[in-house]
Every structure is written in C-alpha cells, then in structure tokens.
Amino acid sequence: MPVLLETRPPRYHHFVLLVWEERDADGQHVTWRFSLQDSQKEARIGFKNLNDLTAFLERWIQTPQEAEYSNAEDENKKIKGE
C-alpha cells in the first residue's frame, strides 16, 4: 500500500510594491525609496534602498510561513531605527 505524504499547498503571498523618487530642493534625483504593503494585514514595510528590499525578500522566502508576519514587523522596526 502506498504511503501518502501530507503536503502543504505552494506558498503564495501578495505584496504591493511602492517605488518613489526622492529629489533635493533643486529637483535633482537623490535616491529611490521602496515599500512593501501586505495586502492581507495592511502592514507596510519601508526600505531605504534596493539592497534592503532585496535582502528582506530573500529572508522572507527562506522563513517558514508561520513566522513571516512577526519577522516583517521586526524588520520594519529595525529599518526605522526603533
């Protein structure tokens, strides 16, 4: 008799990515800023640069689903310097 393994469905999550340009008083480009908004929890996580955003997503992918929300909140506090 075959052994049935319990499998979880594939992980799926919906983030809204916001990208905006910051400029100085003369209208010159200073930097790009990023934020992810969780469409289910309405939580927003801000990032100072693309490297921070990429690092967050890489950690999120490797984090078990059960821990992702508490980690996202901790990440947002760290980015804001709290």
- Tens of pLDDT along the chain (82 residues)? 566 666 777 778 889 999 999 999 999 999 999 999 988 888 899 999 999 999 999 999 898 765 555 555 565 555 555 5
Structure tokens at 3: 């052994």
Within a domain: residue 9? no
**Residues spanned by the domain of 25:** 15-80
Within a domain: residue 36? yes
Within a domain: residue 2? no
Beta strands in 12-55 (DSSP E): 15-23, 29-38, 44-47
Within a domain: residue 58? yes
Structure tokens at 20: 């905006």
Within a domain: residue 3? no
Within a domain: residue 49? yes
Within a domain: residue 37? yes
